[in-house]
Structure formats: C-alpha cells, structure tokens
Amino acid sequence: MIFFRPTLASTLKLGGMGIAAAAMCLQPYRPMIVVGRSMEPTYHDKSLQWTEPVSADQLKKGLVVEINMPTGPIVKRIAFLGGDKIRQIRVGDHWMDMLYVHLLPHSKRSQTNYRNFVVPEGTVYVLGDNQVVSYDSRNFGCVPIERIKRVLLDQEPPAIGNRDRDSRLWD
C-alpha cells in the first residue's frame, strides 16, 4: 500500500496553485483574444486585451464591449444607445443605414425613401471599426443589453480610416 506523504514543497506547490486559482476566480479582470479584422486598425487580429465586468448603467457610446452572441463572443464598439435615431434609406425592399451621410436640410428628397430608425430601449447598436469587413448591427440588428457583460479595459480611440474626430458619431 502506497500512501501520499505531503512534503513541504508539494504542500506549498498545491497551496500556491489553489491561491492562484482562487485569485483568478475572484478578481474581475479576464483576458481575451480579439479574433478577426473587424476592429482593425484599433485592435488587431489575435491581440490580447483585458476585460472587466460592466453594468447596463455604465454603457455609453464609444465603449468597446464583449458581446455574448449565440455563436460565441464578439468585440464591437457601441455606436448608438436605446432611444437614439439612425437615418436610413430604402434600397429596394430593405432599409439601409446612412451612418456617415449627413443630408443637407435644403436638399429635395422623398420622405418615403428616408426614415429615422429609433434604437429600441434596452438595446444598443454596435459597429466594428473596420466597417468594410465587420459583421455588426448593420447585419444582425440591435443587441440586447443583457448580452453585454464585459468592457475592454485599455480603451483605444477609434482609428477608423480617414475619418477625423468631428465625424465620429460617439464623441
């Protein structure tokens, strides 16, 4: 019969692993890997970022958040909150967002081709910084706030193509 005889070294090793595991479970910060090009050039594919929990009342425009989608977590920037209006244009049978188009007040346009879409309360409209390749609210619609659990800690300002600070919707 073999008995396990704990030595001081094995006890410290096991105790240290237990303390490390408990610390990881109790502390609020979690690492995550940004996968894909949708947040480039702000966050690059396979970059390591740290996250922390976020409550619904802390959400604001411009925050980069981790969203728990049915297909897995994604990282996007909050562009609009519940109650915000998004200008849309009718293209065939579908409505398309005009996020970066500002209509002149004196231009002639048919009101049936344009509308203001209001983001429903309790949801947010999210976008990727790389709008050419991003799969975001333009594709899947508004995201319920309950799906947002974490925010990236090291918030980088959006580095979106050639847009300057004045044209960013979330400043």
Summary mean pLDDT of the chain: 78
pLDDT of residue 167: 44
Q: What are phi and psi of 80, to 5 degrees?
A: -140, 145
Say which residues have a Cβ less than 8 Å from residue 55's Cβ, sequence separation at least 6: none
Q: What are phi and psi of 122, to 5 degrees?
A: 85, 5
For residues 171 and 62, give the distance between their C-alpha atoms in angstroms, rounded to a whole number. Answer: 7
Is the predicted pLDDT of residue 71 greater than 80, yes or no?
A: yes
Q: Tell which CATH classification among 2.10.109.10, 1.10.150.120, 2.40.50.140, 3.40.605.10 matches the domain 29-84+119-167.
A: 2.10.109.10
- Would you give the end-to-end CA distance of the chain in angstroms? 71
More confident site: 164 or 57: 57
Say which residues have a Cβ less than 8 Å from residue 36's Cβ, sequence separation at least 6: 45, 133
| DSSP-derived 3-state class of residue 98 | coil
Indicate the pTM of the whole model. Answer: 0.71
Helices marked H in the chain: 8-26, 137-140
Decide if 19 contacts 38 (C-beta within 8 A): no
Decide if 101 contacts 87 (C-beta within 8 A): yes
Q: pLDDT tier at 123 (50, 70, 90 boundaries)?
A: very high
Is the predicted pLDDT of residue 58 greater than 70, yes or no?
A: yes
